[in-house]
Amino acid sequence: MIYDLPDEVRKGLEFARKRDMGRKNRLRVHVGENVHSILRLWDQGFALDAQTAPLIRGFVDIYDSGKQLYQCLVMCSSVEGGERIYEFKRQTAVVTEAPVDFWRDQNAPVGLLT
């Protein structure tokens, strides 16, 4: 059905879909000082709008609103269906605590009173 529409209508629908997807999605990729909205995110990569997305290589940070989720190494990109596809070479989740190298007992006292 969508293929029978005139080109202007089809382009208008595609533009509206991308605009709405950018509004709903809070995921952003930070490349230095530049910030771009992520259209889709999956285990092996993410997609940006092909018309506004730069060629990215190297380390990037992925945020959900103000919370940093991942630090990633982006290794290559391609353009498919109006989206620029980036693939991860490395994706590391950001943690708020340092890992410990000992067992923590759940029933251990919080403090010691003297």
Domain ranges, ordered by start, for the chain: 26-93
Regarding predicted confidence, which is higher, 26 or 87? 87
Please report the pLDDT score of residue 80 as a whole number. Answer: 87
Please compute Rg for the chain using Cα positions: 21
Strand order in the sheet with 27-31: 34-37, 27-31, 58-64, 67-80, 83-93, 45-49, 40-42
Instruction: Look up residue 76 and give its DSSP letter.
Output: E
Q: Is the dihedral of CA 25, 72, 44, 10 positive or negative?
A: positive
Q: In the structure encoding, which two tokens stand for residue 112, read together? A: 């010691």
Q: In the structure encoding, which two tokens stand for residue 91, read together? A: 């994706």
Ordered alpha helix ranges (H), 1-114: 7-24
Q: CATH for 26-93, among 2.40.10.430, 2.60.40.2470, 2.40.50.100, 3.40.50.300?
A: 2.40.10.430
Provide the pLDDT confidence category of residue 89 given band limits of 50, 70 and 90.
Answer: very high
Q: In the structure encoding, which two tokens stand for residue 82, read together? A: 């109006």
> How much is the average pLDDT of 36-57?
88
